[in-house]
Structure 1
């Protein structure tokens, strides 16, 4: 390997070598053993600098000084010995760092680079099959047939599932192929990135080229990360979802039903209210932006703000919330991470309101008077 090799230079610099030290050390390696004057000439540095830096190199086990001879020479320690010494030091450093590192045992964060087309396909299918309560996917049309059965199974077991199918240059997806594959399925006429987010923690992000077209040097990233997944879902719902054509909406669950994914409750409330049903909501909530204990609140759903299905009723791009009244007050509720709402909800149980109780319009009117 040339002593001018950029990769070698960068690797030595990563171990703390300066540029001049790299030049001096590689010059010595090229000579094997030499006088300071010869090294100075080869490295383009002063003879005084060579003597100074060789003193440091000797302490680091890189050279052996032969100062009992005249003139004094330096001999490069065999590189295999140097690498072994560095490995021992790194192992010792790892043990010391691990001793003071105390990660949260309840938090699992991992990342993985995936290069293989087949591995990416298998990983997406496995993620969907593993979902307990939420799946958000954006996939090319050519991949949909491989995933349809797993997506249908997710919907059947009550997993909240949003599916965005992107145009990847293949034949258009027939509407029949989208029936039942999600709670909502949309088609975008453009090619978008591949995204899978499951249960607000697990997922995969990939350029389209990893799946479609000729082999490329593009790579997919698989992750288990409770902070990244919500951000990707927010981008998915805020940037891609609104641009796509809505093709299929699944019938809502029979009520009463309990949801531990808030967006699922928002979709169900929207669809039932569009069928003319007045709803009650019993929720485990706490004040937004707090770590208060959860408490149970119950009231009537008087409005839903959402953009999961058309027409959208929200005013903020990623807003999905319920407006609820208990007859004395009305308040807004969102899921975990709520910012502008009154409460964030952990679970929501929706039911059809008792016809004998006060109507929604009466509650709203009375609540409005209280606000005056």
Structure 2
């Protein structure tokens, strides 16, 4: 189905469809109802690929799978029904974004539309160079080499750098070449949107063809917004990161180390505990969902719940938390805006019993004996 109308392909790509997904879905539309083998032949893809992607199509409300029949058949849903569902989704998204949008003249919030591919690439590089604490990046494999120096520099500066490499099969991806390009690097065998969030404030978002491929009328959105960026990171970690395959994880910083970004502390705590290192955490916290003053608490790290590296230990994809024991109670700590944990933290220091002061070590020794 490579002859599909270019405008239709661009429209479907803007909703996250890869080229192979477009070929498969438009084939199903053309056939109306068919077996997997007929769909594979019409789309020029493997039958195995058809079976893999049908579940996603069903979740998106694009098709019905009649697996009670032999052989299994797939029926395309009426496009008007599909468009109505997409419209409802966009309306919900608009409402959620409107709820976040409360302009404050004292806060720097800017938005811009970027049409030039060269400008988008330069902006990605600049934001990577300016990153101080945290980077979340989803980008096509074909331009990773162009960003390699900036990514390595961010890692060397101690920036938590999560890199999701999109590989739609058009290029041979040598996965071992990603060593050192992030705190954690994953590869996803699809082409998703280009996503960049830096320091919970700055970012970019665009369809993938804005960054790779021939000239396009698609556009990127650049922003400086301290509420939109965390929502984008939540989508990155909740929707895309869990689907990808881990190919590289950097080593943790040596304690004692202080973290202004909670996820970085969670990642390093995970890596230290996998090396059987006992950890003590000093945290600046306040009760979750409150505006009370922050206070300092210390405790032994007993559990880490996270979805940043494999194997994951969280209950939902965006959960990243520390469980601490201060000798009198065990309590949970999450990052800014925590809702599942007892406390939210704005700063974390990780130590070992050897680097902690004597009184803390004695306290933790007594808690471990309880």
Q: With the length of structure 2 as denominator, give the TM-score of the two structures.
A: 0.69
Q: Give SS of 2:239's match.
A: helix
Q: Which of 354, 362, 367 is residue 363 of structure 1 equivalent to?
A: 367
Query: In structure 1, what is the equivalent of residue 143 of structure 2?
Result: 143
**Structure 1 CA distance, aligned partners of 2:153 and 2:274?**
26
**Structure 1 CA distance, aligned partners of 2:205 and 2:174?**
26
Query: In structure 1, what is the equivalent of residue 98 of structure 2?
Result: none
Displacement of 1:149: 0.4
CA RMSD of aligned residues (A): 1.9
1:110-129 pair list within 5 angstroms: 110-129=110-129
1:18-37 pair list within 5 angstroms: none
Tell me if 1:259 matches 2:263.
no
**Structure 2 CA distance, aligned partners of 1:364 and 1:204?**
46
1:1-372 pair list within 5 angstroms: 104-354=104-354, 357=361, 363=367, 366=370
**Structure 1 CA distance, aligned partners of 2:136 and 2:103?**
29
Alpha-carbon contact 1:162-1:185 (below 8 Å) kept: yes
1:101-132 C-alpha deviation (Å, 9 max, x unpaired)? x9645411111001111111111111111111
Kindly report structure 1 stretches of 4+ aligned residues shifted beyond 4 Å.
Answer: 354-362
Q: Give SS of 1:209's match.
A: helix
**Structure 2 CA distance, aligned partners of 1:126 and 1:257?**
27
**Structure 2 CA distance, aligned partners of 1:213 and 1:308?**
30
Displacement of 1:169: 4.1
Query: In structure 1, what is the equivalent of residue 80 of structure 2?
Result: none
Displacement of 1:291: 1.1
Displacement of 1:216: 1.7
Alpha-carbon contact 2:327-2:363 (below 8 Å) kept: no
1:179-204 C-alpha deviation (Å, 9 max, x unpaired)? 11100001011111100000000000
Alpha-carbon contact 1:141-1:172 (below 8 Å) kept: no
**Structure 2 CA distance, aligned partners of 1:292 and 1:344?**
11
1:198-217 C-alpha deviation (Å, 9 max, x unpaired)? 00000000101112222221
**Structure 2 CA distance, aligned partners of 1:146 and 1:169?**
19
Displacement of 1:141: 0.4
Pairs aligned (count)? 265
**Structure 1 CA distance, aligned partners of 2:172 and 2:335?**
35
Alpha-carbon contact 1:278-1:360 (below 8 Å) kept: no
**Structure 2 CA distance, aligned partners of 1:358 and 1:275?**
23
Q: With the length of structure 1 as denominator, give the TM-score of the two structures.
A: 0.68
Stretches of structure 2 that go unaligned for 5 or more consecutive residues are 1-101
Alpha-carbon contact 2:205-2:220 (below 8 Å) kept: yes
Alpha carbons of structure 1 residues 126 and 315: separation in structure 2 relative to 1, 3 Å: same
**Structure 1 CA distance, aligned partners of 2:195 and 2:353?**
38
1:55-109 C-alpha deviation (Å, 9 max, x unpaired)? xxxxxxxxxxxxxxxxxxxxxxxxxxxxxxxxxxxxxxxxxxxxxxx96454111
Q: Give SS of 1:148's match.
A: helix
Alpha-carbon contact 1:285-1:344 (below 8 Å) kept: yes
**Structure 2 CA distance, aligned partners of 1:103 and 1:338?**
23
1:205-245 C-alpha deviation (Å, 9 max, x unpaired)? 01011122222211100011111110110010011001111
Alpha carbons of structure 1 residues 308 and 163: separation in structure 2 relative to 1, 3 Å: same
**Structure 2 CA distance, aligned partners of 1:238 and 1:170?**
26
Q: Which of structures 1 and 2 has the bigger CA Rg?
A: 1
**Structure 1 CA distance, aligned partners of 2:363 and 2:140?**
46
Alpha-carbon contact 1:206-1:221 (below 8 Å) kept: yes
1:253-277 C-alpha deviation (Å, 9 max, x unpaired)? 0110000000000000000000000
